[in-house]
Chains A and B, each alone.
Chain A
Amino acid sequence: MMDEILIQALSGLSRGMVLFVVASGLTLIFGTMRIANFAHGSFYMLAAFLTYSVATMVGDRTWGFLAALCLAPPIVASVGALIEWGLLKRIATRPHQYQLILTYAITLIVADGIKILWGRDYRTVARPAGLDGAITILDMPFPTYNAMLILVGVLIAVGLHLLLTRTRFGKTIRAAVADGEMIGALGVNVQRLFTGVFALGAGLAGLGGVLAAPVGSVSLGIDTSIIIESFAVIIIGGVGNVMGALIGAVLIGVVHAVGILFAPKLAIAFVFIALCAVLLIRPQGLLGRST
């Protein structure tokens, strides 16, 4: 039984890592700009479809995936920057609901846009050579690709941590999260900061999309399933906090994976059960500042 729980926890961890990568972008955008970005799932879906196209064009499964890994996140980040610069900036001084609805409108446009560009079929992306098999952990097979996801997730977490603590851009972001009003007074170009953060966030969603593409299927509708879980992650972790997002995502992944051993029929509600539990204890999220 212990072995089973461990192996479940491990698979939950790999699931949580993709979620973390996507949610980290969402939490940075929210923390800095105070925008609940519905289009975040769209960025993720767009990157997954781009991965399919790049992989198909390159042909080789390994090089195709690597090419997508290099190309898709920057493309999606540019789309994000364009949206921030062209649309969100214009309504930056308006109340929240306008920004919320604007990002919602983008989800609709992207969903149909992808349908126009890629068609209605669902697709698959092959896993890179050497990552399509399984390794043995505790006498159980465990997919190599998922093991790699865990490693990559940790690397991205470390990278983001360094970015936020060691670079000027990162420190500005943290200052903006802590006190949005002060940041303008300090002589920071808030406009450029916002565009940068939105692009970074979109790029992270894109990175999540590339990493997730070889796991399952690339299809219309993957945007909505990731966005709600990502929102849950950042509420659990505390908004604006990347480490909180990591903890929240891992928590959701592991609770889900271990939970289905004991209460399989509650699987669809695990995310919300975890959410309610955290809210009861810490309404501001695990690592959130209390207000």
Chain B
Amino acid sequence: MTVQPLPPLQPAAGSAASMRTKTIIGGGLIVGLYLLPFVLGESYLFLSIDFLIMALFAVSYNLLLGQAGMLSFGHAAYYGLGAYTVAILFNKLAVPVHIGLLASPFIAGAIALAVGWFAVRVTGMYFAMLTLAFGQLLHTVVMGWYGFTGGDDGLPVMPPDWLLPARNYYLFVLTVTLVSLAALRLITLSAFGTALNAIRENRQRAIFVGLGVRNYELGAFVIAGAFAGIAGAMRAPLQQMAFPSLLHWGQSAEPVLMALAGGIHTFAGPIVGAAIFVFTNFVITTYSEYPLLVFGVIVLLVVLYLPGGVAGAVIDAWERLRRRAR
């Protein structure tokens, strides 16, 4: 199912105006985000860092699900590999975390290439299962190779002193996330992104018109993996540790949840989803004795009653309002 964007009802000038509104809102949002650490308490700042990382994780995932229609269930593997790239470089070669972060998309992307080479041969649920299986394989390797990865206890990571204060780390993560999101946005709008859309809409037709569907899918898989790697690379210094559960399939469910909760048909949807996810998760694990139950029920309700996610629902409501107003 896809939500077809409604044909523009207004003249071009109107859309230029709405473009300007968008720019103003976006710019204001970014400025606001940079000012946040001067307003927020430390605990909420950490929560905001958590949100930014999850937002990048979710948006990288949505390149697969929302754009290319590829239902991966092993995305956490690349997220975790990003974290371990930073941790291993730090522990074995004393590379500081902000430098190690530069290597993370390449390592995560390279492994994604190897896995994707197998996985893109199949589609749909079967693709979901294969990515899940490969994700668990990588999790097992990280868990078992304890001489190199620290095994189940994880690998400690110490950010340099200037990154240790919450405010500085927040600003660092914010910058990396915004740059990464901008890059992802450009990719989604490029010819490559359009081709992915075409594959999602009608894979059969895309094959007939001569699109190298598998190569495009593999490309999307690698790019998504690389950006998940960046998200993971920011996670390790935040927790001061890389640990195997970052690669676990339970973690792989999270970007799917965030994308669905926010809405997979808009670029910003997964970001909204990430905000909902991080906040809900924090509240539930703080106050509920049965967090899985509460969380499961919320997910159930979202799946049943919010098919387009929160962003989808908001857009629908907005369209309805506009139509009524006219």
What is the interface of chain A, defined by CB distance below 8 A to chain B? 30, 34-36, 87, 90-91, 93-98, 100-102, 104-109, 111-113, 115-116, 224, 228, 231-232, 234-235, 239, 265, 268-269, 272, 275-276, 279, 283, 291
Contact = CB atoms under 8 A, between A and B. Distances in A.
A29 B133 CA distance: 18
Contacts of A228: 132-133, 136, 249
A187 to B, nearest CB: 26
B141 A269 contact: yes
A40 to B, nearest CB: 12
A77 B297 CA distance: 21
Nearest to B121: A283
Contacts of A102: 299-300, 303-304
B65 interface: yes
Query: Which of B144, B249, B300, B303 has the most chain A CB atoms closer than 10 A to its own CB?
Result: B303
Contact of A97 (B71, B122, B299): B71
A268 B292 contact: no
Given A97-B65, A104-B253, A291-B122, A268 B143 contact: yes
B73 A100 contact: yes
Interface in B7-61: none
- Consensus secondary structure, chain A interface: helix
A232 to B, nearest CB: 6
A116 B293 contact: yes
Interface in B67-107: 69, 71, 73
Contacts of B1: 93-95
Contacts of B293: 108-109, 112-113, 116
A28 B4 CA distance: 34
B279 interface: no
Q: Which 8 A-B pairs have the closest CB atoms?
A: A108-B296, A112-B293, A109-B296, A272-B137, A105-B299, A108-B292, A112-B292, A112-B290
Contacts of B297: 105, 109
Given A105-B297, A228-B136, 16 more contacts: A34-B124, A93-B1, A95-B69, A98-B303, A100-B71, A100-B125, A101-B257, A102-B300, A102-B303, A105-B303, A106-B296, A109-B292, A111-B292, A268-B144, A269-B137, A275-B137
Interface in B117-138: 118, 121-122, 124-126, 128-130, 132-133, 136-137
A231 B128 CA distance: 11
Contacts of A235: 126, 129-130, 133
B140 interface: yes
A115 B289 CA distance: 10
Contacts of A112: 290-293, 296
A116 B299 contact: no
Query: Which of A90, A98, A115, A116 has the most chain B CB atoms closer than 10 A to its own CB?
Result: A98
